[in-house]
Amino acid sequence: MSYRIFLAGASGVIGRRLVPLLAGAGHHVVGMGRSPKRASELPALGAEYVAVDVFEGDAVAEAIITARPDIVIHQLTDLPDTLDPGLMNEAIIGNARIREEGTRNLVNGAIAAGARRLIAQSIAWAYAPGTAPYYETDALDINAQGNRAITIRGILALENQVLNAPAIEGVVLRYGQLYGPGTSRNMPCGTSPLHADAAAYAALCALDHEEFGVFNIAEPGGEVVIQKAVDRLGWCADFRLATANAGTK
* ω into 166 cis (within 30 of 0): no
Question: Domain of 24?
Answer: 4-245
State the pLDDT confidence band at 249, using cuts at 50, 70 and 90.
very low
> Greater confidence, 78 or 83?
78
The whole-number pLDDT of residue 33 equals 83
What's the CATH code of the domain at 166? 3.40.50.720
Residue 96's contacts (CB-CB under 8 Å, 6 or more residues apart) are 150, 151, 153, 154, 157
pLDDT in tens, 2-58: 999 999 999 999 999 999 999 999 999 999 987 677 677 889 999 999 999 999 999
What is the total count of domains within the chain? 1
What does the pLDDT read at residue 80? 61
88: CB partners within 8 A, 6+ apart: 80, 147
pTM: 0.94
Q: What is the pLDDT of residue 88?
A: 72
